[in-house]
Amino acid sequence: AQRVTQPEKLLSVFKGAPVELKCNYSYSGSPELFWYVQYSRQRLQLLLRHISRESIKGFTADLNKGETSFHLKKPFAQEEDSAMYYCAPYAGNNRKLIWGLGTSLAVNP
């Protein structure tokens, strides 16, 4: 079965520290992967997708097919990065995403 694992429910770092939110997936084929973010009292929104290979708000994510991982990284965390982050691989030719349970990131001053 296709699964996605975000091993940390909660991640707490200090402002300016590097941050890495982990995502591992099990998927047969060529996955398309996404990170979504939900800031406090805001709607869930796309943060980035792996095929774009871009940096959004200082975050990057590299697809590692060998390790089946898509970890989200930022070298210097900011307080405004505090949010819930979801990793979501594309489930195949059926328009559905598979959602991880989410990691709540708290960036402390």
Enumerate binding residues for another protein (CB under 8 A).
9, 32, 34, 36, 43-46, 49, 86, 90, 95-97, 99-102
Q: How far is the CB of 43 from another protein (least distance, A)?
A: 5
Of 15 and 32, the one with the shorter C-beta distance to another protein is 32
Q: How far is the CB of 6 from another protein (least distance, A)?
A: 8
Query: What's the half-sphere exposure (Cβ side, CA atoms, 13 Å) at 91?
Result: 11
Q: How far is the CB of 72 from another protein (least distance, A)?
A: 16
Of 52 and 78, the one with the shorter C-beta distance to another protein is 52
Of 5 and 15, the one with the shorter C-beta distance to another protein is 5
Q: Calculate the CA dihedral of residues 21, 72, 25, 91 and round it to 10 degrees.
A: 130
